[in-house]
Amino acid sequence: MKNHLKIGKKLLDLSTPKIMGIVNITPDSFYENSRFNSINNILSQIEKHLDDGADIIDIGGYSTRPGASNISIEEELKRISEPIKAIKSIFPNCILSCDTFRSQVAQIAIDNGADIINDISGGELDKNMINVIAKNKTPYILMHSKGTPQTMQSHTDYKSIFKEMINYFSQKLELLHELGLTEIIIDPGFGFAKTIEQNFELLNKLEDFYFLKQPILVGVSRKSMIYKKLDTTPNESLNGTTILNTIAISKGANILRVHDVKEAKEIVKLLF
């Protein structure tokens, strides 16, 4: 498996798992404490994430929780453009990922300094996304999902979820490699077009994705696979998140995408 990621002139060593801190510039993300709507609040949270040990910051202006409201491209750009400029100005060494499935947003994010594009749809919701990634040679997080954030939970019927996902990733990787892209991370997409049972099946089989020979990102932080199973809330799901993140790392996850950087970083310190 590839154990590094080239980001511009930087080489991110993935032989030790890295932590990606989440910053949502949205009013409706499922975890209330991850929502930020002013430049000062955004910068304060990023400073906290970096102080707590975040290796990457992931910023997004479109909530992709199940059933989330659809917003215009203009609104998404309005939410993220100035914050990205501010982040790269104040934290120039910060590795910044933009969470978007829209090629126009991705291009402007890249122009403003974003280092990575994190696409929940793998180019399925905007066919021009792959062209933008190829043109800019931008590191790309390729996630598995089906449908849209508004419909994805009606697309959980699989004959064999693992076989279908391997086929999906294999086809996408072949296309990306043909376009000369090598800096690709795969994300199984926990919670996206998957039932709670399917999420746990994938987590338990995470090492089977080694077959794809790409770094693996896991994002289970405070998600419904935790709080619904425990009959609690996102706010009360830190302990469950830490347990599942520990399992993910033990099964070979290279990047954890989290709301709580300090606790995730402690997992890495204890295991490596």
Determine, yes or no, domain membership for 43. Answer: yes
Range of the domain at 199: 14-271
Determine, yes or no, domain membership for 228. Answer: yes
Number of separate domains in the chain: 1
**Cβ–Cβ contacts within 10 Å for residue 142, how many?**
27
Determine, yes or no, domain membership for 174. Answer: yes
More confident residue, 147 or 27: 147
Tens-digit pLDDT profile for residues 82-91: 999 999 999 9
18 is catalytic: no
Q: Which two tokens stand for residue 270?
A: 């204890």
pLDDT score of 142: 98
Alpha-carbon dihedral 179, 130, 109, 40, rounded to 10 degrees: -120
Residue 265 banded pLDDT, cuts 50, 70, 90 = very high
Q: What is the pTM of this model?
A: 0.94
CATH number of the CATH domain containing 251: 3.20.20.20
**Alpha helix positions (H), 62-207:** 73-90, 103-111, 129-136, 161-178, 196-204
2 is catalytic: no
Determine, yes or no, domain membership for 8. Answer: no
Catalytic residue from among 65, 194, 222, 257? 257
What's the CA gap between 202 and 153, in Å, rounded?
16
Q: Which two tokens stand for residue 223?
A: 């998600």
Tens-digit pLDDT profile for residues 16-26: 999 999 998 87
Q: Please provide residue 216's backbone torsions phi and psi, each rounded to the nearest 5 degrees.
A: -115, 130
Tens-digit pLDDT profile for residues 112-162: 999 999 999 999 999 999 999 999 999 999 999 998 888 888 889 999 999
Catalytic residue from among 48, 223, 262, 269? 223
Determine, yes or no, domain membership for 3. Answer: no
Determine, yes or no, domain membership for 84. Answer: yes
Determine, yes or no, domain membership for 1. Answer: no
- Measured CA to CA in angstroms, residue 243 lies from 23, 229, 253, 260 at distances of 22, 13, 14, 13
Determine, yes or no, domain membership for 5. Answer: no
